[in-house]
Amino acid sequence: MTGTKAIFITGGGSGIGRAVACKFAAEGWFVGLGDISEDGMAGTRALLPAGRCFSVQLDVRDRGQWDDALGAFAEVAGGIDVVFNNAGIPIGGALVDCSPEEIERTLDINLKGVLFGAQAAWPWLKKRAPGSCLLNTASAAGIYGVPGASVYCATKFGVRAITESLDGEWAADGIIVRDLMPGFIETPLLDIAPNRKSNEAIRDRVTTAGLEITPVATVADAAWAAVHGERLHTLVGKTARQASFFARFLPGMIRSRNKASGRPLG
């Protein structure tokens, strides 16, 4: 596969990961998928051109699995131009309703998984520099903290910080670092409960709050633009753009609304 650009995507078995895989494959890239779900990756592979995809079961919480996965992909692809740190899980509801196990799992996947991915990606991206890229999935939840999302916001503020830190740290290596900051995206994650004590799907809460749900293809286009553009943080969707505007220019309004309604900005 020498001469063909290659991207490795975590969470590649569904949602944003699947959409980004399809986008980059359509642009002629060789695609690597990492996910804990073999069935999910099989579904993604079925959408990609034959012979232009590699998949490996990966738990992003396991540092050793990261090295094995990227090494195997690089051997097949001939190198790695982009690592997309995308795997993540949602958690919501009042902090007191979230169990220690749920909190630890979310921190491990959403935050430690990104740090481990960055560590494992660095040697491969350095070989393809300048112009290779680490792309992280942050969130509009990393712009301003909202009620009912303290743990999730903490992880996505963390991903944003990792992006900003490594943007400087890896500049001398010729590696660019970017992140996506989407609002609510049309993926299967919207149809699960925010925590074990809740029986209301995230989608129901979003709809009740009157917030926009962005098509997943929009995120895939944003990922392509982020890898090839100059923006450190790429906002995706109306909710993310609103949050960024109000956090920058009217933070007092967000704070007052948070206290009054207990709901995210809409």
Q: How many CB atoms lie within 10 A of CB 210?
A: 8
What is the Cα–Cα distance from 45 to 55, expressed in whole angstroms? Answer: 8
Residue type, 183: G
Q: Are residues 31 and 54 in contact, defined by beta-carbon separation less than 8 angstroms?
A: yes
What is the Cα–Cα distance from 193 to 58, expressed in whole angstroms? Answer: 24
Q: How many CB atoms lie within 10 A of CB 32?
A: 28
What is the Cα–Cα distance from 31 to 48, expressed in whole angstroms? Answer: 9
184 is written with which tokens?
């609510």
Judge whether 152 counts as a catalytic residue: yes
Selected catalytic residue, list 124, 152, 170, 246: 152
Q: Which residues contact 104 (CB under 8 A, 6 or more apart)?
A: none
Task: Provide the annotated active-site residues.
Answer: 152
